[in-house]
Structure 1
Amino acid sequence: MDSVVLIVTFVLTVLIDLTTGVGIGLLLAILSFVKLMSGTLKLSKVLPDPADKLVKPEMVQKGSCCPQINIYTIEGPLFFGTIERLQEEIEEIMRSRPKVLLLRMSNVPFIDTSGEALLTDIVKQFKVQNLQVLISGIQQEPKEMLRKTGFIKLVGEEQFFSSTGDAINKALSKLDENRCKGCKQFSFAECTARSKQVPKPALLKQKRKREIGLT
């Protein structure tokens, strides 16, 4: 594609003029960049693997699905050329109305104003329905950008976590325990206790294990 842009720019510069050739060449280069980057964003729905305490998409693929907590790993730049994939997934999430949406963003190196606008829209939709958005692992540069736009104030500083384990513990504290009774999904280590309503000391013990093993 780069060679095509170069050839088109050269031909237009020779046949028409320098301004036209460079202008169209720049436009083609931008379109090429957007097309290339649009395939770099990866979005995976994940859940913890009891074997090693790490969150993996394989656990969801095996059929486990917590009706109250949705966890997504976002990988790649979140900008105007990549947000369509996330928009489509959010529409599906809103239909299922989870109590908590956790976005793992440690592998998001860059967020532009379009990406910030989408995240803001997601948070506002959740707030209207009295649902919560948690964010874990966000890098310093994107976080500073979100701070300047007021996004962090909208979400709440307390909704940001350095590790996934801490974020999951917060998410579990927000669950409707009546909905947990009798649930057979067992997406988290605490689910067995919650489904059978085991006393809280057992839940606290599981929480400590998560804090040690899950990042």
Structure 2
Amino acid sequence: MTPTLNTIRATLAAMGNHSHTTEKFQSDLMDYARAFSKEGDCLIEVGCFRGGLTAQFAAIGKELGQHLHVVDIDPGYLEVARQSVQSTTGDDNVSFHLCDLATFAQGAGNGIRVSLALIDGDHYYNGVIADVRALLAMVPRPYGVAFHDYSLRYATPEGKNIRVDRAIQDTLGREFPHVQIGEISRIGGPLRHEPREDGHFHELGVSEGVLVEFRKLSIE
């Protein structure tokens, strides 16, 4: 029997491999994975970090009879994510790909039917632009695509180009169709709204993530 998501989260927390997203974002994402499951036969995670969401995706994939493709350019993160999955659900329905999304889409991902993809890797403007273009070029396109850290900002010069929101708006249009997922940044909420040591914060009133039904987009 596949462990429950709460059990998986507790195991990962004990390992130090918990997800660095809010619980609401995690729950929203899993709900959409179930809701979109008939629109494809696999899931994609781009940017796995330590596997806090990877293991949950693997569990949902087993529940829905779907394969999970994990894509990251960092071999160290892929290995830790693999350990997170192996320690919770097992990785028999998971493939790990050491590359960027465009390379994956042109290779192992060519022609796959994706019900839901999570984009949570490169948050710099140009990196997000590249991921959006890779998604638009896939045939068929993923049905649903979730982007994390839509509200993420940095108060440091080196982080000024970390703008997931602006990259999506510049490729899909300022009024692109989407739903908000995760937390809305607010005073007293779980998202940091004032910069501290590393300079990161979330813009007040902006959602942690957004979800877009890519297969319905008319953009070429």
1 or 2, which has the higher strand percentage?
2
Higher relative contact order (CA 8 A, sep 6+): 2
1 or 2, which has the higher helix percentage?
1
TM-score, shorter chain, exceeding 0.5: no
Give 1 or 2 for the bigger CA radius of gyration: 1
Report the TM-score range of the alignment, normalised by the length of the smaller protein. 0.3 to 0.5
What TM-score do the two structures reach when normalised by structure 2?
A: 0.34
